[in-house]
Amino acid sequence: MNKSTPDGLATPQRYGAILTIVIGITMAVLDGAIANVALPTIARDLHASPASSIWVVNAYQIAIVISLLTLSFLGDMFGYRRVYQCGLVLFTLTSLLCALSDSLLTLTLARVAQGFGGAALMSVNTALIRLIYPQRQLGRGMGINSFVVAVSSAAGPTIAAAILSVASWQWLFLINVPLGILSLVLALRYLPANGSRSAMPKFDLPSAVMNALTFGLLITAMSGFAQGQSTTLVLAEIAAMLVIGTFFVRRQLRLPVPLLPVDLLRIPLFSLSICTSICSFCAQMLALVSLPFFMQSVLGRSEVETGLLLTPWPLATMVMAPLAGYLIERVHAGLLGALGLAMMACGLFALAMLPTAPADADIIWRMALCGAGFGLFQSPNNHTIISAAPRQRSGGASGMLGTARLLGQSSGAALVALLFNLFDKSGTHTSLLLAGILATVAAIVSGLRITQPRTA
What are the extents of the domains in the chain?
A: 2-194+203-451
Q: What's the CATH superfamily of 2-194+203-451? A: MFS general substrate transporter like domains (1.20.1250.20)
Query: Three-class SS of residue 319?
Result: helix
- In eight-state DSSP terms, residue 133 is S
Q: How confident is the model at residue 7 (pLDDT cuts 50, 70, 90)?
A: low
- In eight-state DSSP terms, residue 200 is P
395: pLDDT strictly greater than 70: no
pLDDT for position 88: 95
- Helix 360-388 and helix 138-164: axis angle, to 10°? 150
Mean pLDDT of 269-280: 90
Highest mean pLDDT among 196-200, 303-307, 437-441: 437-441
23: pLDDT strictly greater than 80: yes
pLDDT for position 394: 65
Query: Three-class SS of residue 134?
Result: coil
Beta bridge partners of 193: 3
Give the other-Cβ count within 10 Å of 455's Cβ: 18
349: pLDDT strictly greater than 90: yes
Interval 31-52: pLDDT, tens: 877 877 788 888 888 888 777 7
Interval 399-421: pLDDT, tens: 788 888 888 887 887 888 888 87
CB 429 within 8 A of CB 360: no
Mean pLDDT of 332-358: 89
Distance between CA atoms of 449 and 433, rounded to whole angstroms?
A: 25
Q: CA nearest 342: which of 331, 330, 352, 334?
A: 334
Q: pTM for this structure?
A: 0.79
What is the four-CA torsion angle of 384, 289, 91, 183, rounded to 10 degrees?
-60
Which of 169-178, 278-287, 297-306, 391-400 is predicted least confidently? 391-400
**Please, what sign has the CA dihedral across residues 28, 30, 33, 37?**
negative
End-to-end distance of the chain based on CA atoms, in angstroms? 33
Interval 59-100: pLDDT, tens: 887 898 889 888 888 887 788 899 999 999 999 999 999 999
For residues 149 and 4, which has the higher predicted lDDT (pLDDT)? 149
